[in-house]
């Protein structure tokens, strides 16, 4: 097995640890990787490297920083196939899905760099006849970027652009379940030494990074439990934390929609990447008058999803789950639903094949007390509950301690307007993921905190400094607002 190293100060270095964890190939279940668990001392080296690089990086002209970052994007685009292959091997997604999301991540990264050109790093705000007052949006310093295992490369790129374009430096911590693709990504990096650093390990490494006193901002995507730990780690020193956590995203299907189209969208949103997406649709509320037709169409669509390589043009490949632990969560949710009276229409059983596969599953006769309807399943499972009206579906969708996203299928404009009031960070009308990955939002409830995307991502990565100066001194300062 190829050793995994940290990337610190522009060099690949052995972690200062004897502790490691073993990871299994999701396609076979056999051990294929030994991952060192970086210590607090490793983390401190990475943070010090980032801190040393930050002043010079921030002092560069914005145009020069953006040029360097776009060159990094070019290198990643050239390596997209290799990055997708690494993601497939580490967590099981089909290579074509991996490629799609790697390229989408690069696109978002490039778009975020364009935002830098219009972001008011220096803006005039306040003043009087004698004094001009400017707000300077200065970089916060060293940022910890902790990403989940389901889309490592895209997960890094979604937050990285504004962090670096604003003049910060970063320490990246990928999940222990999906580290090699992050290593491959950093192998493409030709940015100045120390601008990007990488530490590998598990939650102990992430905790040390969150607790490091020289980290000014933690940008975290992951579970609710881990997110709470990040919040607790940053609170004593009053450091910032932007958190995107779990979800239990609902879909509501109204009368009068195109059933076949909606069924295709719902199954894709539930089963792509084996349901291991933060915004996967995990519960469906369908109005009674259209329920039978929709359920029939959902079952037909679900049967198109085959485990492993597809064998005909009409089939869709579904990869294994990331590991046995995640598949066991899915199994437990299904067994709980079955014991409480749910009807499994397709799927619902662990197959007798190597690896961590779980079939596309549709179930009905579900109730709100079932785990599959109120806890994050994170697997290829689509529970469907029939409701008497759109309003009942809307109320049920809002009954959750999560608040990440919701998808509404309706041709009624008043229903669409009502859906926009759901307590979630994103609402998509008639198109799951309709906004793509370029968006600005803040998760609600236990799904996280902190507005992100677009200008908000730059606001989070900068600190406003009010500068008041006599008007006669303004021109020499060359503030961009002048």
- pLDDT tens figures, 77-107: 999 999 999 999 999 999 999 999 999 999 9
Of 211, 244, 375, 376, catalytic: 244
Q: Give per-residue pLDDT as tens, 275-325.
A: 999 999 999 999 999 999 999 999 999 999 999 988 889 999 999 999 999
Question: Taking residues 231-245, what's their average pLDDT?
Answer: 98
pLDDT value of position 45: 98
Query: Mean pLDDT for the chain?
Result: 96
Q: Which residue has the higher pLDDT, 295 or 129?
A: 295
User: Which CATH code fits 249-429?
Assistant: 3.40.309.10
244 has catalytic annotation: yes
CB atoms within 10 A of CB 361: 27
Average pLDDT value for residue range 129-144: 95
Strands 142-146 and 169-173: parallel
pLDDT band at 459 (very low <50, low <70, confident <90, very high): very high
> In terms of CATH architecture, what is 6-245+447-468?
3-Layer(aba) Sandwich (3.40)
Q: Domain-by-domain residue ranges, the chain? A: 6-245+447-468, 249-429
Q: Which of 154-168, 334-348, 399-413, 465-479 has the lowest mean pLDDT?
A: 465-479
Model confidence at 481, pLDDT cuts 50, 70, 90, reads very low
Question: pTM score, two decimals?
Answer: 0.96
Is the pLDDT reported for residue 477 higher than 60? no
What average pLDDT does the segment 158-173 reach? 98
Higher pLDDT, 198 or 439: 198
In this prediction, residue 480 has a pLDDT band, given cuts at 50, 70 and 90, of very low
């Amino acid at each position: 097995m190829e050793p995994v190293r940290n990337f610190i100060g522009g060099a690949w270095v052995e972690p200062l640890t004897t502790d490691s964890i073993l990871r299994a190939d999701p396609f076979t279940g056999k051990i294929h990787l030994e991952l060192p668990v970086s210590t607090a001392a490793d983390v401190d080296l990475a943070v010090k490297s980032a801190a040393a690089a930050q002043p010079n990086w921030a002092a560069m002209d914005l145009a020069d920083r953006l040029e360097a970052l776009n060159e990094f994007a070019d290198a990643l685009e050239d390596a997209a196939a290799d990055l997708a292959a690494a993601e497939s091997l580490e967590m099981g997604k089909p290579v074509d899905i991996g490629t799609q999301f790697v390229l989408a991540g690069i696109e978002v990264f490039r778009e975020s760099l364009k935002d830098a050109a219009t972001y008011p790093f220096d803006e005039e705000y306040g003043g009087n006849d004698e004094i001009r007052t400017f707000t300077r949006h200065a970089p916060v310093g060293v940022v910890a970027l902790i990403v989940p295992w389901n889309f490592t490369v895209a997960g890094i790129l979604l937050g990285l652009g504004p962090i670096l374009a604003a003049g910060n430096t970063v320490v990246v911590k990928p999940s222990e379940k999906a580290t090699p693709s992050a290593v491959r990504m950093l192998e493409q990096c030709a940015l100045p030494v120390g601008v990007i650093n990488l530490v590998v390990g598990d939650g102990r490494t992430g905790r040390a990074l969150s607790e490091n006193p020289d980290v000014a901002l933690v940008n975290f995507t992951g579970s609710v439990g881990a997110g709470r730990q990040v919040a607790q780690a940053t609170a004593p020193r009053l450091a910032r934390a932007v958190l995107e956590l779990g979800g239990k995203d609902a879909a509501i299907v109204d009368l009068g929609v195109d059933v076949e189209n909606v069924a295709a969208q719902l199954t894709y949103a539930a089963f792509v990447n084996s349901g291991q997406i933060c915004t996967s649709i995990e519960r469906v509320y369908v109005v009674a008058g259209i329920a039978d037709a929709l359920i029939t169409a959902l079952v037909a669509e679900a049967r198109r999803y085959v485990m492993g390589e597809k064998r005909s043009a009409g089939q869709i490949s579904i990869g294994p789950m990331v590991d046995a632990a995640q598949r066991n969560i899915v199994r437990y949710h299904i067994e709980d639903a079955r014991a409480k009276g749910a009807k499994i229409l397709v799927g619902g059983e662990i197959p007798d094949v190597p690896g961590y596969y779980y079939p596309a599953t549709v179930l009905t006769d579900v109730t709100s007390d079932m785990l599959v309807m109120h806890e994050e399943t994170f697997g290829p499972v689509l529970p469907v509950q029939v409701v008497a009206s759109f309003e009942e579906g809307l109320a049920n969708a809002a009954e959750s301690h999560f608040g990440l996203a919701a998808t509404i299928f309706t041709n009624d404009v008043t229903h669409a307007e009502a859906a926009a009031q759901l307590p979630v960070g994103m609402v998509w009308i008639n198109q799951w993921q309709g906004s793509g990955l370029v968006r600005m939002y803040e998760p609600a409830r236990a799904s996280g905190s902190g507005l992100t995307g677009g200008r908000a991502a730059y606001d989070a990565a900068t600190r406003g400094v009010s500068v008041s100066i006599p008007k006669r001194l303004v021109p020499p300062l060359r503030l961009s607002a002048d």
